[in-house]
Structure 1
Amino acid sequence: MSSRVPAANMAMAALLRLSSRGTCSSSMFSSLGPLGGSSSVSSVSSSVSFFSPRFLSSSASCLGVAWSETGGAKASGEVAKLTMPSGDSVDIPILVPTYGSDKFLDVKGLKKATGCFTYDPGLMETATCQSGITFLDGDNGVCCYRGYPVDQLAQHSDFVTTAYLLLHGDLPTPEQDIAWRRELQKYMVVNTRLVEFYRSFPDGAHPMAQMNSVVGAMSAFFPVSLDPNDKEQHITAATRLIAKMNMIAALIYRTDKNKSVIYPRQDLTYAENFMYMTFGDCTLPPGVVNHDMETFKLVAKAIDAFLILHADHEQNASTSTVRIAGSSQANPYACVAAGVASLWGPAHGGANEAVIQMLEKIGRPENVPQFVQDVKNKKDGVRLMGFGHRVYKNFDPRAKYFGELVIDVLDKLGVEDPHLDVARALQEAALNDPYFVERKLYPNVDFWTGIMLRGIGIPTNMFTVMFALARTVGWISQWKEMVEQPGLKITRPRQIYIGQPIRSM
């Protein structure tokens, strides 16, 4: 490329192995016991007794079920002993996953045995399901889809293959891969009447409001059987969602820009179709995507990696929302719409947008040292965004490869974005400052995604739409897994009531 051009213009022109330290936590029992009383649970190191699985399944004083019958988590043969104020004790089985060293107290039946519930705001210490889709080890910086590290998938696979893996459990054979891609192509076009739905939105409607409405409306266009045994229909609904979400996201951009609809093409990949349907010029003759095909494919590669790295992330807020909605046997399109609504919240899906806002506030690379000092001094109104992670206590395994890819892609595109220079300076300062190193505040994937999306021309208010485009695969895979597992129960948490006692009118 002979000259450097502004970021947005370029995009439009371009058209485990591990050993975790999981422990069995007793914090969830800190509030057990009758009002006015207290209870205690001995530390795991001193109270765990060793019993055979046979004892666990037959002892009247032990909670839990025969987990081996479910094909999921297994009783470890250990129990934790909960001592109540009365002096009575209850043995709580300790469950272990099929991989990893986390341990879980099986508290099913606790109310019947003790008269008490557990209290865990935010469910930070509670497993609400069994899943074989995504494995996370925050201490060691590991994230795997169906056993494959996500950074390997991003480097050696593509989004369509990764979607098949998440949905079906294994990588496709060559024959399955061809058939899968044909299915996605078949379902990618959005119904004309659904396209007309976009015209009903007022000017300036938030992109996530549009996505939430359109995805929810799909349940009216595609009724789905609620039979949990109808696995073929589950696959059809999943395929339709993954395929159509691509055009749904592109239509949001084109509606906002008052541009005409562009339909997908069979000769383009999933990521390339997104670029074409979003930025492409529908006046070009058939077979022409862009005058610079190399640039077009480079941007599509970055989009593809973004989609892979955001496809799933275990039981986060939006995924849990999808599962809760699905537990009532709701239509899968309605369940994914619920996930979109949850992701819309800035505490969940707004991290990459917050990074851009931080970089804008810093302004220039020479302002980075003062910003870093303000962060260390905990100055009011100064927040470091895109470093560290709520799950990963070491490094974000999605960030290293993606950060390198983003810099490479934007450099090759000749993107002139002052935020990229600020980001590089901030990363360099943080990685060499003991304050950040000791606290393991490394750049996470959100630090780079905002820069990449901005660099290829995605408006800031559409960042979360891109997140949802990727995460739809995880949402529908988690939904499918849940409804097909035996013993599906509607989710019904409890509460600690802190209101008025009963009173008369």
Structure 2
Amino acid sequence: MFSVRRAAIRMRAMPTENILHMIPSRTFAIHKLKGKLAEIIPEVQGRLNTLKKEHGTKILQTVNVNQVIQGMKGIKGVIYETSEIYPTEGVKYRGYSIDEIVKMTPSFVEGGSPAPEGVLWLFLSGEYPTKEEFDDFVLDLKERSYIPDETIEFIRSFPKNMSPMTQFSMGMLACQNMSTFAQNCENGIAKDKHWEAIYDDCINVVAKSSKVAALVFNNLYNDNKDLPDFMDDKLDFGAKYAHMLGYDSEDMYELMRLYLVLHMDHGGGSAGAHTNKLVGSVLSDPYLSFSASLSTIAGPLHGLGSQNCLKWYLEIVDKYGENWTKDDIVEHVHYTLNNKRVVPGYGHSVVRMADPRFIHQLKFGLTHFPNDNLIKLVNACYEVIPDLLPKIKSTISSPYPNLVACSGALLMHFGMDQLDYYTVLFGVSRSFGYMSSLLWDRALGLPMERPGSFTVKGLLETAKTIE
């Protein structure tokens, strides 16, 4: 278990660089991390230059007409450093499987959930932090959570009928005036220095995301309850986020840490990741790109899976009662499909196995609260649905549970019945992956994205010329 050194430090409204210089006695892990990146980045840049020089004209794959029509589906056309998805292994973070991430990441409880701070360090540097680096990094993120009072009051003024994701996106956008990258770009900066200029912003966006999200939660559901002082306690990122939402059990702290880690990243092809990457490619600062990605996540085909899956489970409970059976599950699956609906939480466009992230969430539920009826239902569906779906629909490519098939049930156990807020939780977690990837985009000097396009007529005419 990694212990965490704590300190209570109050800050005035000033740039991050000045805040850090107020404490000359400390050796900041944030500067150590920047030093590591200064060593690592030239090596990766060299590999990329060699790749372009020696293999730049090689054809990777052909593209068919359907892929163009389907929004470039399955076309690998971008560099994304932090994670990749495999059909038979699921998502990997920096080459590590989810099983390895859960096992190898530092934790705050012996044998407990992985610490989000440790995975953020891994995303950025490609390696795990030492104990000292980890301890300092936990505190550094807390210090960087600072939001000016006027920005807090602005977020708290949002109308009660404004959706949580709209408030979250606007709240992060309201912090944009603190962007050091935007200031550097305005003053002029060499391309090879972009990563250094964007470094603080990327980490600050992550650090501030949970505080903005908690302000949104309290604005909507807690009558604008004041947030506890972020510096005057011993809580880490995940536990503090849960605390700001009003949850103070050790089990909820552990769940929040696990939730954040398992939802952090999912390759560069997902809509939110690609939006973040696209907006960042025109040198918009991280606050702008993250806010844009949140707008993407808010779409029903992207970030609403957890709440939709939970609603489906609740349909079963409402229909058959607390004493539902596996036969009831089978009947409800048929009912769902017969009504031209999908079974939420099952199936994936790439992964062809039970998502390891689902497995770890289900394991958490069965370990910590095995008698919870919803957790039992999630487990029973897992035992029934993967065998059932192929019998009903022979063309199904993946009948297995994905990431969102358990998360809603876990949150509901703690009484979080604000289902429209679940996407905000998802957005906070994705800040870790998105910001890490954005830093590496600037480190590698990747250009503005500008794919070509067809009209329907032009595509048809082109297709006719191909034998």
- TM-score scaled to structure 2, two decimals? 0.75
State which of 246, 251, 259 in structure 1 corresponds to 2:215.
251
Q: Which has the larger radius of gyration?
A: 1
| Alpha-carbon contact 1:362-1:368 (below 8 Å) kept | no
Corresponding position: 1:489 with 2:447: yes
Corresponding position: 1:143 with 2:102: no
In structure 1, the residue matched to 2:303 is 349
Q: Which amino acid aligns with 1:390?
A: S
| Alpha-carbon contact 2:272-2:297 (below 8 Å) kept | yes
In structure 2, the residue matched to 1:462 is 421
Q: Deviations over 1:354-404 (max 9, x none)?
A: 101111222235365345245358301443111121220222121212211
Q: Deviations over 1:2-61 (max 9, x none)?
A: xxxxxxxxxxxxxxxxxxxxxxxxxxxxxxxxxxxxxxxxxxxxxxxxxxxxxxxxxxxx
| Alpha-carbon contact 1:375-1:382 (below 8 Å) kept | no
SS at structure 1 position matched to 2:338: coil
CA distance in 2, matches of 1:170, 1:74: 28
Unaligned runs of 5+ in 1: 1-66, 78-91, 95-103, 108-115, 281-289, 291-295, 501-505
Task: State the shift of 1:494 in Å.
Answer: 2.8
CA distance in 2, matches of 1:73, 1:376: 52
Task: State the shift of 1:421 in Å.
Answer: 3.9
Task: State the shift of 1:422 in Å.
Answer: 3.0
CA distance in 2, matches of 1:423, 1:267: 34
Q: Tell me: CA distance 1:326–1:76, structure 2 relative to 1, closer, same or farther (3 Å).
A: closer
In structure 1, the residue matched to 2:265 is 312
CA distance in 2, matches of 1:432, 1:149: 25
State the identity as a percent. Answer: 21
Corresponding position: 1:185 with 2:138: no
Q: Which amino acid aligns with 1:408?
A: T
Task: State the shift of 1:266 in Å.
Answer: 4.2
State which of 177, 182, 200 in structure 2 corresponds to 1:220.
177
Corresponding position: 1:231 with 2:195: yes
CA distance in 2, matches of 1:162, 1:435: 36
In structure 2, the residue matched to 1:56 is none
Task: State the shift of 1:456 in Å.
Answer: 2.1
SS at structure 2 position matched to 1:119: helix
Task: State the shift of 1:249 in Å.
Answer: 1.4
In structure 2, the residue matched to 1:429 is 384
Task: State the shift of 1:299 in Å.
Answer: 1.5
Report the structure, 1 or 2, having the larger strand content. Answer: 1
Q: Tell me: CA distance 1:388–1:141, structure 2 relative to 1, closer, same or farther (3 Å).
A: farther
- Matching of residues 159-198 of structure 1 within 5 Å: 159-198=116-155
Task: State the shift of 1:426 in Å.
Answer: 2.1
CA distance in 1, matches of 2:160, 2:47: 55
RMSD (Å), alpha carbons:
2.9
State which of 340, 344, 347 in structure 2 corresponds to 1:388.
347
In structure 1, the residue matched to 2:49 is 70
Q: Deviations over 1:277-328 (max 9, x none)?
A: 1106xxxxxxxxx6xxxxx222211111111111111111100001110111
Q: Tell me: CA distance 1:473–1:375, structure 2 relative to 1, closer, same or farther (3 Å).
A: same
Q: Tell me: CA distance 1:144–1:492, structure 2 relative to 1, closer, same or farther (3 Å).
A: same
In structure 1, the residue matched to 2:79 is 130
In structure 2, the residue matched to 1:408 is 367
Unaligned runs of 5+ in 2: 1-45, 106-114, 459-467
State which of 262, 279, 283 in structure 1 corresponds to 2:246.
279
CA distance in 2, matches of 1:313, 1:436: 29
In structure 2, the residue matched to 1:445 is 403
State which of 343, 352, 375 in structure 2 corresponds to 1:420.
375
How many matched pairs? 382
In structure 2, the residue matched to 1:93 is 58
| Alpha-carbon contact 1:68-1:75 (below 8 Å) kept | no
Q: Tell me: CA distance 1:169–1:466, structure 2 relative to 1, closer, same or farther (3 Å).
A: same
CA distance in 2, matches of 1:214, 1:311: 20
CA distance in 2, matches of 1:142, 1:319: 17
CA distance in 2, matches of 1:461, 1:410: 24
CA distance in 2, matches of 1:73, 1:471: 30
- TM-score scaled to structure 1, two decimals? 0.69
Q: Which amino acid aligns with 1:235?
A: Y
Q: Which amino acid aligns with 1:496?
A: F
Q: Tell me: CA distance 1:404–1:72, structure 2 relative to 1, closer, same or farther (3 Å).
A: farther
Moved more, 332-341 or 229-238: 229-238
| Alpha-carbon contact 1:386-1:446 (below 8 Å) kept | yes
Q: Which amino acid aligns with 2:305?
A: A
Task: State the shift of 1:172 in Å.
Answer: 1.3
